[in-house]
Amino acid sequence: MTKRSLVFYSCTEDEMDKYGIHLLALSHVYNVPQLKQRCIKGLVQRLTSENVVDVLQLARLCDAPDLRVRCMKLLTNHFNAVQKTEGWKFLTKHDPVLELDILRFMDESETRRENSRKHREEQGLYAELSEAMECLEHICTEGCTDVGPYHVEVNKEKKPCSKYSTCQGLQLLIRHFATCKKRVKGGCWRCKRMWQLFRLHSYVCQQTHDSCNVPLCRQFQLRMEQEKRKDDPKWKLLARKVASAKVMFSLSLPKRKRDEEMRVTIDNRGIRCFGYNEYCNNNVSDNRCVSC
């Protein structure tokens, strides 16, 4: 078969099944790129555990990186089946360099999967913290079923809040924080968790000191201005990641819903003080209940 005949050659599916490997070698030797691409595409569709080792060796010799990557991925996903084939046994005896290359690719692929899994878990955690920050502002500004600003009546019907999935649990945590006696000694883990949420809010809060409704926000921000704490960089990094997760989540929402949430945020003026309804007995004559 001459180069001219290869240029105008159009193989059928049956011929690709029988002579695909041979045609790839010929198209590479005679430099026929169109036929070579057709052969690569056809061989990719016909890759199996039985022929993947042979095709991989040919892909390396014929300078076909796309075909090589597809072979490597199939080897990684079906390695147990490939190990039992004659092609793999021959490879381990006569081509240790390619075997090492395959094992290295598999190790790197596993590392990438593990890193991707950890990244998804981290992003999920940051997204949950972002929702908790929004829920905290929702409770402190609008009030909900059990907890709210001292001059805003809570919902007496006691229906679960449908706006945020974490709302009910966060309300229980706030009620516990307001009445717990162990938190003074620092021995209650629930109070420590609530304290951390208040502190994280102070890092992500974009409002002025007097306009924010969340308890302790002003105190934390004043302390940050007066003292340079050693752990501030860690909290700032966490705040940036939480803010980034919030942006990514908002971008994933439909445009109409995103515009509606933005409108609600702009229109929501909030109030200046925060209490805990019947649970708060502190003096709020200065328009702020600091203990709560």
Closest CA to 288 of 149, 182, 97, 187: 149
Q: Are residues 46 and 126 in the same domain?
A: no
User: Which CATH number characterizes residue 263's domain?
Assistant: 1.20.1020.10
Confidence check: pLDDT of 118 > 60: yes
Q: Are residues 73 and 180 in the same domain?
A: no
CA distance 270 to 10: 72
Do the domain assignments include residue 174?
yes
Chain segment 188-205, per-residue pLDDT in tens: 888 888 888 888 888 888
Chain segment 6-34, per-residue pLDDT in tens: 544 567 788 888 888 888 998 898 888 88
Chain segment 35-52, per-residue pLDDT in tens: 899 899 999 999 999 999
Domain interval for residue 120: 116-279
Per residue, the 3-state secondary structure of 113-128, as one string, reads HHHHHHHHHHHHHHHH
Q: Are residues 173 and 69 in the same domain?
A: no
| Least confident residue range of 5-14, 134-143, 162-171 | 5-14
User: Which CATH number characterizes residue 21's domain?
Assistant: 3.30.710.10
Tokens of 122: 């981290």
Model pTM?
Answer: 0.57
Q: Are residues 43 and 146 in the same domain?
A: no
Closest CA to 220 of 234, 204, 233: 204
Q: Are residues 21 and 133 in the same domain?
A: no
Which pLDDT band, with edges at 50, 70 and 90, does 1 fall under?
low
| Number of structural domains the chain divides into | 2
Mean pLDDT for all residues in the chain: 76
Question: Residue 163: is it exposed, middle or buried by C-beta count within 10 angstroms (0-12/13-18/19+)?
Answer: exposed
